[in-house]
Amino acid sequence: MEYTFTTNNRDQTMAFGSFLALRLVRGDVVLLEGDLGAGKTTLVGGVAKALKVHEDVISPTFNIMKCYFKGTIPLYHIDAYRLENQNIELGLDEYIEGDGVCFIEWPQFIMPLIPDERLEVSLHNVGGDHREITIKGEGKRFEKLIGEVKEVFHD
Ligand SMILES: Nc1ncnc2c1ncn2[C@@H]1O[C@H](COP(=O)(O)OP(=O)(O)O)[C@@H](O)[C@H]1O
Ligand SMILES: [Mg+2]
């Protein structure tokens, strides 16, 4: 099942991240696809806000992963951008389907670590502050969640 809608500014994308965060449980994995500047890290900022992390989310590109433990559940934010063409075992599997929620930017570079059960969010810059967002997921829980997104976020 998938659904596409548009956000018209940064705050709306953050609100979508917050909306997701409140419906996720420990072990959930969310893939974030989209070009640089599409809004992936911004969305995770909204997640952090809803989880009461009380810390700014910064791009983990140079760290590969950032962990936020101060919120209601642990938030793991992976950016696999720099892992392209690398084949190193970083122990990331401990955090994917671990004891918190895990958001992954550039998941295509670590596909062997990605579980079948996941939500996929893709963001596309359609000009100015507009971002077309597609959310995709299978299974009862994720389909219900996508139905709820449909009711709240529409063009
Ligand atoms: N609708 C929108 N949603 C998300 N970000 C937006 C939007 N409109 C403008 N922006 C801006 O686009 C940039 C997105 O950057 P970022 O979230 O770091 O992207 P990514 O992690 O995908 O590379 C930010 O500067 C943000 O303020
Ligand atoms: Mg980013």
Which domain CATH number covers 73?
3.40.50.300
Residue 126 has pLDDT above 80, yes or no: yes
- Per-residue pLDDT, 87: 66
Based on C-alpha coordinates, what's the Rg of the chain?
A: 14
Q: How confident is the model at residue 58 (pLDDT cuts 50, 70, 90)?
A: confident
Amino acid in position 30: V
Please enumerate in sequence order all residues whose Cβ is within 8 A of that of 35, keeping only pairs 6 or more positions apart, or say none.
124, 125
* Atom of ligand 1 at shortest range from CA of 39: 17
pLDDT band at residue 14 under the 50/70/90 scheme: very high
Q: Is the pLDDT of residue 77 over 80?
A: yes
> What band does 104 get if pLDDT is binned at 50, 70 and 90?
very high
Instruction: Report pLDDT for 59.
Output: 81
In a domain, 134, yes or no: yes
pLDDT tops 90 at residue 86? no
Answer yes or no: is 42 within a domain.
yes
Residues with CB under 6 A from ligand 1: 7, 9-10, 12-13, 34, 36-42, 59, 129, 131
DSSP character for 138? -
Q: Say how far apart CA 107 and CA 19 lie, in whole Å.
A: 22
Flag whether 16 is in a domain.
yes
DSSP 8-state code for residue 121: E
- Residue 102 belongs to some domain of the structure: yes
What average pLDDT does range 94-117 have in this prediction?
95
Residue 88 lies in a domain: no
Rounded to two decimals, the pTM is 0.96
What is 50-87 written as a DSSP string? HTT--S-----TTTSEEEE-SSSS-EEEEEGGGGTT--
> What's the pLDDT band for 121 if we cut at 50, 70, 90?
very high
Query: What are the tokens at 120?
Result: 């996929």
pLDDT bin (cut points 50, 70, 90) of residue 90 is confident
According to the model, what pLDDT value does residue 26 have?
Answer: 98
Domain containing residue 62: 2-83+93-152
Instruction: Report the nearest atom of ligand 1 relative to the CA of 79.
Output: 21
Inside any domain, residue 119: yes
Residue 135 lies in a domain: yes
Distance from Cα 138 to the centre of ligand 2, integer Å: 25
Would residue 77 count as lying in a domain? yes
Total number of domains in the chain: 1
